[in-house]
Amino acid sequence: MAIPAHVRRVITLAPNITELVYAIGAGDRVVGTDDVSNYPPAAARLPKVGSMQPNVEQITALKPDLVLASTEGNHPSLAPALAAVGIPLYVVRTDRLPEIATAMTRLGEVLDAPAAPAAARTLTADIAAQRRTRAHAPRILFAVWTDPLYVGGHETFVDDLLVLTGARNAVEVTGWPQYSLESLAAHPPDLILYPRKSVNAQQMAVLLEKAGDLHVPSRAIDEDVFTRPGPRVGEAAKGLNAILDGK
């Protein structure tokens, strides 16, 4: 379906897309978001249309000109469903760090947001400012869940952040697989990061005990900032650098 020239009402289906739209100055045009979008605070107050399986009825009721989704969203049935009610869908690729600035620019074109190019340049500069090299690159493990242990491996957004800030990913796997407890015990990382809303310190302690009483420091991080490929990535990198410097 063709995208209209003037997009006045937008629905965003991923939290990072929501943040990107606001960051390029088009936030006032967002009329609905997915359940998880909670930043900026204004977006948190908008009507919600579901998360894993967006509710097409609710989307339609909000009369959007355009629906924005990310490639991570896995909505194979969404495009035809929306096309059936005459609503165009635009999918933005934002899986990896270098793609964020590009996504900003693209969104700027689609939404005709004049602030977009500048925002993209600022973002790129912010990212570049956080680039570090460290003499002894610390080995970081990002744990998504502890029972069983799921990690962020290579070729992920989290990995990009680690590489940027001069750290190294402690695991040798790709994607977001379940990780072997033996490998954790045999190659303990220097630091474990975990999302504070999904995992608590007690669960982390249980994991470390099961791995043979590993004494590895762990830090809870705000997953809304650290795992969303969005405009706050500079803040995420800065926070990560602070953790790594303070260590």
Partner 1 sequence: MPHSDRLARPALLLTLLLLVTLAVAVAIGATRLSWPSVWAGDETARAILLRIRLPRVLLAAAIGATLAVAGVTFQTLLRNPLADPFILGVSGGAACGAAVSTALGFGRIPGVVPLVAFAGACGATAAVFLLARRRDHTDPTRLLLSGLVLNAFFSSVILIAFSLSKSSDLTAALRWMMGTLFGATWTSVLLVTSLLVLGMAVLAFLANDLRLLAFGEEDAKARGVNVERVKLIGFAAASIVTGAAVAVSGIIGFVGLLVPHLIRLIWRRDFRALLPLCALGGAILVADADLLSRVIVPSAELPVGAFTAILGVPFFLSLLRRAR
Residue 246 host element (H or E): helix 233-246
Find how far residue 151's CA is from the centre of its chain.
Answer: 15
Q: Can residue 172 be called a binding residue for partner 1 (CB under 8 A)?
A: yes
What is the C-alpha separation between 236 and 222, in angstroms, rounded? Answer: 9
Shortest spacing between CB 52 and partner 1, in angstroms: 7
Beta carbons within 8 Å of 28's beta carbon, 6+ residues apart: none
CB-CB contact of 45 with 30 (8 Å): no
List binders of partner 1 among 38-77 (CB under 8 A): 51-53
Cα radius of gyration (the chain): 19
d(CA 207, CA 149): 8
| Binding residues for partner 1 restricted to 178-237, rule: CB under 8 A | 178-183, 185-187, 195, 197-198, 200, 202-203, 206-207, 210-213
Which residues inside 83-142 make contact with partner 1, applying CB under 8 A?
A: none
Q: How far is the CB of 164 from partner 1 (least distance, A)?
A: 23
In angstroms, give the least distance from the CB of 213 to partner 1.
Answer: 7
Q: How far is the CB of 142 from partner 1 (least distance, A)?
A: 14
Q: Residues interacting with partner 1, by CB under 8 A?
A: 36, 51-53, 144-145, 147-150, 171-173, 177-183, 185-187, 195, 197-198, 200, 202-203, 206-207, 210-213
